[in-house]
Structure 1
């Protein structure tokens, strides 16, 4: 979208591609308008002494994970508190939670996951690379981090303490029947030169807290899936985003198109939030397309295959009208890039696609019913099991299935090619009054709203 400072009412750009003139009337942007990246903004800011690795906003406070620190900020980005998470001494004889306190530090603690849980108490979970990915639970009081902190260790050797993998982690926490379940997905390196994730970390797993809330345990003996033998370290798999909507938990991944393919694409993964053993698991290709009409009105289609960032939010009334959505519908906003050939590396060419979660579910149902599926290539225990082709819910009587959908119906670029020369790296969406406002971040440090 074109962003100028000729009128202050033109700064906010909405997802519906409408902007305001001086009379408060909505106008369609000119077809010839181009993205203006020369605008500067005077925004509240706080300077950290290391790159931001994880960020979470809760009750007006901002929590930032960086190497060896967890920082709490106020809504106007003033420091509330700083909590030290490292460096630590790592070694085979060291305790996962305490390390080796009597020895000098030899390892930094990189922040891998931040998540908030409020069902039991307002508690922040911070997971890092120290202790092979062990997490700490911060019981929040007035936003403070260090009042009551527990390391989520384990009294057994089942691996339930090892949460965050070194290549990246996505976690979704869901309350089901009075129990909070943590769906954890650990990436395998996209860069083959990086070390593979240790086998301590399952690729996908489901955990819950022990009754004393000081450790994790698996929800069942088989509440995890791993990459098939031989693929660990040889099958790049990057979990980019995760969310819960309705009866399902979703993960968005970047991975190879198939077992022998060198090309990469994005997939959306869905499993039941009530599932104890990931028996209702399905993956579907998920990409974004842009159709450019030439002088002779012939359409040239460009595929944007590599997801960079995503956000699930409600839509404002403007977007609900455009997309025929219900007021409580969850909507997925996804920023994609075109990749280099046979590589997950993005190019400076992006797009934004918008699709309701209800529409995604209808695609899953439609393609499965029509038989456009095959067994998963990359996960153990992924043989195609018999299933009822008329029902794919999460009820107790639903038969299990672990499938890969072979067809897709990609949504189209919502901004009509306006980011073809920009690499988008982040997206956040919020409804404001009647509008749906997106804040986009670029690879060169720009913020587009």
Structure 2
């Protein structure tokens, strides 16, 4: 995770927690989190140390990290001692007297079971929406062999971040509270894998992979779902699940791998019918190698969802239940009854009622894939915007990072692929720094810092625009491929100063007259240019003979128009090779002899004296 106020990067691993300096990823502070003597038979660390329970050395696996800015704390959850969370001083993670740990077990207590945490809000349920405090939203997979105390661990909960009630269930009543637990008979067969979580508006969301139906009655295909609770619901009556789909031409990518909530660029917002200030959810999915498994294939897709559309789908599912037209469909949370018809509608039911609580909706949140591939397993995603563009950074299972432009809700393309993971998976935790200049990627063994803008590889306008990199464009005055912020523009500036792949047309040579000349005859070439702004300086014609070198002459105005120049052919032309009678070279127009050309074309020098016979001539 990244502290947005300082840019510092915190990385949790096995038995270790690091605070890294963001410029060079050097270690600022390191603290050990394990290993420890532990047992699944111990309810907590103190009882483990004082009891006769047989213990063994166990690693501490970091299950979740979150920055709590309001109190300058880093929240860290690990697998030891039944799965607990603690907070640390954000500016000194090794400061022992600040560390406070949860008294309850709240996350998965093994290496591989999923846990998702994020800091959100908990508000009162009146029209004033008074904020009662910040909370930690937590979701974790039930660990089947995790010992006798796993029954106490909620599937989804919100925990208080008040210092006096730290990590307690944020609201607790008689038989209700801000938690929901997996029904006992499903704990051995029904596995919910939590993939991501976030808050949007007045709702907290989790994204999952889970069986489609009642696993006590047989096997079911795995699907993706969105889970939602209202942040003002002190009972979690508003807990609702709906299917979460991503498809392309009736092929469903059923396993969500990662999600990322952020804003859209102008072009994407326009296609979604929203503004650039609205929330958009980006998801990467894979097609399962078999329906009953969560083993991914190499068929992957990215889908885009406006949160306004997501809210409408949730409301439709909830209203269907409150009209008494469906069942509640959540047997794994002991909610299977027929929905009761009520007079509640619209905004009245958004945050739940004691009637029709815990709803399993059947109307899906549908997405049409903007990008698909059959040779890469997507693992992670983060997005950013630049000008009108939406840019996605997608990690893969074999260590690649795809830089991608999402043009609209159903179209995207990869403009660059980088090998950064040494063949190892790029893990879910892709993060952009606060400036948007760098993306941080995590693999099982290392953290990689990747510059977002990489414009330096193109030597001319055509190759610059051919990259289709939304961060880069051809700066005509500088004669270089650079970000717009580094481009010198004319005064007043024009659309031709900095050219992009979408709306830019490179300076070009429209015509050269004559288009070929006798090598031994001095001649003037009349050159007509297009898409060339007024550079206000001397232009040069450069005659490039490849391995034979180059010669240049100064251009002169021709006819009083900036788009027309005339150049003399140079003296000292190299000899035409003996086995031919002409030489085709590259003729370029440049504003400097050494720099890259503004525009170029082919030009031919010929030698009639090479023909010795009348018939050949």
Q: TM class by shorter-chain length?
A: 0.7 to 0.9
Would the alpha carbon gap of residues 136 and 361 (structure 1) be closer, same or farther in structure 2, given more than 3 Å must change? Answer: same
The answer to whether residue 152 in structure 2 is matched with residue 200 in structure 1 is yes
CA contact (8 A) 2:43 2:82 kept: no
The answer to whether residue 185 in structure 2 is matched with residue 230 in structure 1 is yes
Name the structure with the higher helix share. Answer: 2
Q: Which residues in structure 2 correspond to 1:407-418 (within 5 Å)? A: 407-415=363-371, 417=372
1:132 alignment partner, SS class: coil
Q: What is the CA distance between 1:432 and its match in structure 2?
A: 2.5
2:385 alignment partner, SS class: strand
The answer to whether residue 134 in structure 2 is matched with residue 185 in structure 1 is no
Q: Which residues in structure 2 correspond to 1:77-88 (within 5 Å)? A: 77-88=25-36
1:123 aligned to 65, 73, 93, which one?
Answer: 73
* TM-score with structure 2 setting the length: 0.56
User: 2: CA distance between counterparts of 1:106 and 1:226?
Assistant: 29
User: 2: CA distance between counterparts of 1:67 and 1:196?
Assistant: 24
2:327 aligned to 374, 396, 404, which one?
Answer: 374
Q: Deviations for 1:224-248, whole angstroms, at most 9, x for unmatched residues?
A: 2211121102111101011100010
User: 2: CA distance between counterparts of 1:104 and 1:379?
Assistant: 33
Aligned to 1:42: none
Range moving further from structure 2, 93-102 or 69-78: 93-102
* TM-score with structure 1 setting the length: 0.76
Aligned to 1:19: none
Range moving further from structure 2, 379-388 or 229-238: 379-388
Would the alpha carbon gap of residues 311 and 384 (structure 1) be closer, same or farther in structure 2, given more than 3 Å must change? Answer: farther
Q: What is the CA distance between 1:209 and its match in structure 2?
A: 3.4
Q: What is the CA distance between 1:382 and its match in structure 2?
A: 5.6
User: 1: CA distance between counterparts of 2:318 and 2:353?
Assistant: 18
1:253 alignment partner, SS class: strand
2:388 aligned to 422, 430, 434, which one?
Answer: 434
User: 1: CA distance between counterparts of 2:55 and 2:94?
Assistant: 23
Aligned to 1:172: 118
Q: Which residues in structure 2 correspond to 1:255-266 (within 5 Å)? A: 255-259=210-214, 260-266=218-224
CA contact (8 A) 1:384 1:401 kept: no
Q: What root-mean-square deviation, in Å, do the aligned CA atoms of Structure 1 and Structure 2 show?
A: 2.9
2:259 aligned to 310, 320, 323, which one?
Answer: 310
Higher Rg = 2
User: 1: CA distance between counterparts of 2:244 and 2:137?
Assistant: 21
Q: What is the CA distance between 1:421 and its match in structure 2?
A: 2.0
The answer to whether residue 106 in structure 2 is matched with residue 162 in structure 1 is yes
Would the alpha carbon gap of residues 381 and 409 (structure 1) be closer, same or farther in structure 2, given more than 3 Å must change? Answer: closer
User: 2: CA distance between counterparts of 1:94 and 1:281?
Assistant: 28
Q: Deviations for 1:348-384, whole angstroms, at most 9, x for unmatched residues?
A: 0000000111101111223443457422121035645
The answer to whether residue 22 in structure 2 is matched with residue 64 in structure 1 is no
CA contact (8 A) 2:14 2:60 kept: yes
CA contact (8 A) 1:151 1:215 kept: no
2:264 alignment partner, SS class: coil
CA contact (8 A) 1:197 1:233 kept: no
CA contact (8 A) 1:307 1:335 kept: yes
Q: What is the CA distance between 1:220 and its match in structure 2?
A: 0.5
Would the alpha carbon gap of residues 328 and 64 (structure 1) be closer, same or farther in structure 2, given more than 3 Å must change? Answer: same
User: 1: CA distance between counterparts of 2:208 and 2:99?
Assistant: 31
User: 1: CA distance between counterparts of 2:207 and 2:296?
Assistant: 16
Would the alpha carbon gap of residues 75 and 107 (structure 1) be closer, same or farther in structure 2, given more than 3 Å must change? Answer: same
Would the alpha carbon gap of residues 82 and 373 (structure 1) be closer, same or farther in structure 2, given more than 3 Å must change? Answer: farther
**Structure 2: gaps of 5 or more residues:** 123-130, 404-617
- Of structures 1 and 2, the one with the larger relative CO (CA 8 A, separation 6+) is 1
Q: Which residues in structure 2 correspond to 1:45-444 (within 5 Å)? A: 55-56=1-2, 58=4, 59-76=6-23, 77-91=25-39, 92=41, 95-96=44-45, 100=49, 106-119=57-70, 121-141=71-91, 144-147=92-95, 148-154=97-103, 160-166=104-110, 167-176=113-122, 177-188=131-142, 198-212=150-164, 216-221=168-173, 222-223=176-177, 224-259=179-214, 260-291=218-249, 301-341=250-290, 342-370=292-320, 373-375=326-328, 376-381=330-335, 383=337, 386=340, 387-388=342-343, 390-392=345-347, 393-394=349-350, 401-415=357-371, 417=372, 419-444=373-398
CA contact (8 A) 1:335 1:425 kept: yes
CA contact (8 A) 1:384 1:402 kept: no
Q: Deviations for 1:62-118, whole angstroms, at most 9, x for unmatched residues?
A: 111101000111223222111110111114568537964999971110000111112
CA contact (8 A) 1:136 1:149 kept: no
Q: How many residues are paired up?
A: 374
1:322 alignment partner, SS class: helix
User: 2: CA distance between counterparts of 1:395 and 1:216?
Assistant: 22
Q: What is the CA distance between 1:202 and its match in structure 2?
A: 1.5
Would the alpha carbon gap of residues 151 and 384 (structure 1) be closer, same or farther in structure 2, given more than 3 Å must change? Answer: farther
**Structure 1: gaps of 5 or more residues:** 1-54, 155-159, 292-300
Q: What is the CA distance between 1:285 and its match in structure 2?
A: 0.7
